[in-house]
């Protein structure tokens, strides 16, 4: 496993690196086996030390966790425990997925991902017929401040929900493996996971199972 431990305005010594490596190796050995790479970033915010852990355990599968504490080591330990909790929750499904990935290529395609600037104040007051003109000429439409290429995976709904949960993402766009259409899973305010399937003609495809 390739491991990087970095600090933002904070000193990260060899002792912490050894602690991080030993802890993550023990967690992965217990619940999964190994990982491709792991990144740990420590930073200081007011009176708290914050640690972000990102573990890449397979193609398209990343486990993200973060935690804060007055001391650096407890902050990392809390984040590492969250990684362990996620791996424990999906232990069987992750091993099944890993075994399938060894035997067959995982289908995916490329897509462009954009980061938009916040909508300009007052843009909501623009009339619909003026929106395009206002956006193009006055610059009121959200501006693209970053763009990048990303994977658009072919997954079942259950796999998509697992990936989103492991990566601690608010939403995940994917192509539904059962019928080939674009779907979205997202985290609802009530803690449940929402699923958007734009298929409007139920007679066109049989109803799919979510896993």
Quote the number of domains for the chain.
2
Q: Does residue 24 lie within any of the structural domains?
A: yes
Please give the DSSP secondary-structure letter assigned to residue 123: G
Q: What is each CA distance from 30 to 78, 88, 148, 162, in whole angstroms?
A: 17, 9, 35, 19
Based on the fold, state whether residues 86 and 124 are members of the same structural domain: no
Q: What is the pLDDT of residue 211?
A: 44
**How many CB atoms are closer than 10 A to CB 91?**
13
What pTM was computed for the model?
A: 0.72
Q: Does residue 116 lie within any of the structural domains?
A: yes
Based on the fold, state whether residues 108 and 83 are members of the same structural domain: no
Based on the fold, state whether residues 57 and 111 are members of the same structural domain: no
Based on the fold, state whether residues 56 and 119 are members of the same structural domain: no
Dump pLDDT digits (tens) for 101-110.
554 555 667 7
CATH of the domain at 72: 3.30.160.100
Mean pLDDT in consecutive groups of 10 residues from the start of the chain, 211 residues: 90 92 93 88 92 89 94 96 93 72 60 78 52 48 79 88 92 90 93 86 53 44
Based on the fold, state whether residues 134 and 82 are members of the same structural domain: no
* Domain of residue 114, residue span: 102-196
CATH of the domain at 172: 3.30.505.50
């Amino acid at each position: 496993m390739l491991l990087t431990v970095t600090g933002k305005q904070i000193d990260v010594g060899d002792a912490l690196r050894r602690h991080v490596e030993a802890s993550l190796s023990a967690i992965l050995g217990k619940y999964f086996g190994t990982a491709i790479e792991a990144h740990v970033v420590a930073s200081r915010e007011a009176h708290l030390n914050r640690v972000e852990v990102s573990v890449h355990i397979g193609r398209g599968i990343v486990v993200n966790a973060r935690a804060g504490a007055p001391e650096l080591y407890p902050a990392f330990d809390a984040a590492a425990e969250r990684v362990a909790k996620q791996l424990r929750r999906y232990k069987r499904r992750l091993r099944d997925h890993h075994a399938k990935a060894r035997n067959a290529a995982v289908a995916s395609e490329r897509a462009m991902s954009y980061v938009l600037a916040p909508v300009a104040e007052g843009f909501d007051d623009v009339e619909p017929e003026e929106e395009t003109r206002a956006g193009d000429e006055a610059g009121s439409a959200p501006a693209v401040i970053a763009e990048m290429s990303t994977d658009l995976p072919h997954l079942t709904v259950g796999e998509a929900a697992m990936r989103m949960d492991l990566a601690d993402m608010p939403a995940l766009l994917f192509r539904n493996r059962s019928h080939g259409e674009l779907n979205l899973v997202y985290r609802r305010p009530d803690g449940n996971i929402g699923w958007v399937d734009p298929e409007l003609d139920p007679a066109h495809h049989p109803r799919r199972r979510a896993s």
